[in-house]
Amino acid sequence: GEKLSRALLQWFSTQQRDLPWRRTRDPYAVWISEIMLQQTRVAAVIPYYERFIARFPGFQALALAPESELLAHWAGLGYYYRARNLRKAAQIVNQAGNFPKTHTAIRELPGIGDYTAAAISSISFDLPHAVLDGNVFRVLSRLFADPTNIASLKGRRHFSALAQELLDNSHPGTFNQAVMELGATVCLPKNPQCLVCPIGEWCRVRKTGTQLTFPVKMVPRKSVQESRSLFWIERDGQVLAWQRPANSRLMPGFFELPEREHLPDTIPSTKLGSFRHGITFHNYRFDLWTAALPASSRSCDWINLSEIHKLPVSTVFKKAARLASKVQRPGATA
């Protein structure tokens, strides 16, 4: 354990990527980066993170921010409940006057699960809590040639105990980051770079050449296909849209294009085209139609096309706007 840890930390000190959130141990910055990285690739997160920290540099700025501005800074990262939980947690921390310093108290903040609590408590406060994410599962299951199913609750508990056992308690934050970095840059899912692996001499699958059979993940799940129609109704540089209510479970406060349920009497006229959009295991095909101005549009609002980039609009809306702009003004770029 000690030799493996030394080799891994030595590698991390020279080979780690220079990422903006690694230049600080401030729990606020670590927390924001971890929440952003939950469902999004590192390269995509960097510009969002930098813009977000510039606009909301600490708990107070985030706690006092209007929700629409927060959502506009989050737009494109998806899974918007994350942004709302960030704001709720910032308000709790702001009232308390400082960030909680124990793993249990950090874990109690809205939107913070086991992984994020372990990351913040180890990186910011040197507390000995091992992180467990997809990268760590892969590194551990390969290192020990462990066939436990990572998609089961039993498997999670098993690997959590293993990660905790392996953790270097004298440098928990650095060690956690080093294991994740190894999984992200060397111990890759399809093409592991075993020749440059700093802990290869301890790795059981490397000896047997069975890298690609680990980790073992068994998830029964079918994908769902669905077709839907959207209306693109434009006048005087404005487009008709509806806003999700503030208490909506999905993406509250976001603007969407109307469908038949919002404008029941509207007859579609010209089909502008179609595009696909995937959300978890739902695959949607959206058809985009123009239509005459409805007699009543009570459930909708007119929004300026020039303002779209400033408003919280869904990714589906953005894809539709790009399609409409190409079809109606050929050669135009959205």
**Residues catalogued as catalytic:** 34
Instruction: Report d(CA 167, CA 118) in Å as an integer.
Output: 12
- List CB contacts of 201: < 8 A, sequence separation 6 or more: none
Which tokens hold the place of 163?
């990660």
Instruction: Report d(CA 183, CA 175) in Å as an integer.
Output: 13
- List CB contacts of 266: < 8 A, sequence separation 6 or more: 231, 233, 258, 260, 291, 292, 294
Instruction: Report d(CA 163, CA 97) in Å as an integer.
Output: 33
Tell me whether residue 268 is exposed, middle or buried, using C-beta atoms within 10 angstroms of its C-beta: 0 to 12, 13 to 18, 19 or more: middle
Query: Tokens 């692996």 identify what position?
Result: 197
The pairing of strands 234-235 and 224-232 is: unpaired
The pairing of strands 224-232 and 282-291 is: parallel
Instruction: Give the angle subtended at the CA of 213 by the CAs of 225 and 153, to the nearest 5°.
Output: 65
Query: How crowded is residue 65: how many other Cβ atoms within 10 Å of its Cβ?
Result: 17
